[in-house]
Amino acid sequence: MSTDQLPEQYTTRPGTPMIGKYSTNQMDDFYAALARGEAKPSGLMNLMQHLIVAEKCEPETRVLDVCCGRGLALPLLRRYAPEIAGYVGLDISSVNLAEARERIEDLRATYGDLFPVHLEECDVAEPWPDVAGPFDIAIYTSALEHLPFELGAQSLRSTAAALVPGGVLYLSTPQAFGPSPRPLQYRVHVYEWSREEVEQVVTDAGLIVEDVIGLLPPETELVGTALADRFGEGAAAWYWHLADRIPKALLDTVSAAAVPDVATELLFVCRRPA
């Protein structure tokens, strides 16, 4: 269903930064937050998902970042995957891309070298410009929910088509529950997808969902219960043992990876068949 068909209360709230029908609100800059001494679950989630991708990038990997925003993936790619063949970032917002360019200059000033980087201002739901694909890995993190449903689906089809055979898409988005229409969990979003909707659209686009990883935890009690249901009471006991010793934001974010059924944000690992 397109958000054009949804009542106003299910769509973006007034005050949300917008370009056309898109919200351009940005995920927390976890680098800046940590520098202020702030570690929020949403920031740790964003750090974790980008680190997961960076550690999977082999030398000569060609990386596409769909709705790249501020370029938050770049420092982790430079640290953990410095020998990738190149990085292309797409975003509709010139303001977001300006911040990404500042980040690139900071990285070059710090390290002196950086893999080839190209940023392109474009609407990812429209036909893409020539961006020197195809790509081995596509990153599409915490952005799908900022597009209306049909436009988000088109962006996923374009992303799938940009992958080489065997290429992998890392797609993260909040997990919505129940039939549509449904209230938004976060007022800056345009449309929040259910797990079933994501899996259907990426499958129709020709990708295989290989894994689903929980990223953002629900309430602490739900994490413990879900661990017990999936792995047994020993897992729940282990979790509650750590809960007395590990900061909640860190423990719950990591623990959510094992219980995607209750996580409020998911990372889908999708491969284009070889």
Domain 3-218+265-271 belongs in CATH node 1.10.10.60: no
Per-residue pLDDT tens digits for 7-50: 333 334 444 565 667 667 667 788 988 899 988 888 899 999 99
> Region 64-86: what's the mean pLDDT?
97
The per-residue pLDDT for 18 is 56
Per-residue pLDDT tens digits for 136-175: 999 999 999 999 999 999 999 999 999 999 999 999 999 9
Per-residue pLDDT tens digits for 87-136: 999 999 999 999 999 999 999 999 999 999 999 999 999 999 998 889 99
Closest CA to 175 of 222, 118, 136: 222
What is the residue extent of each domain of the chain?
3-218+265-271
pTM score: 0.91
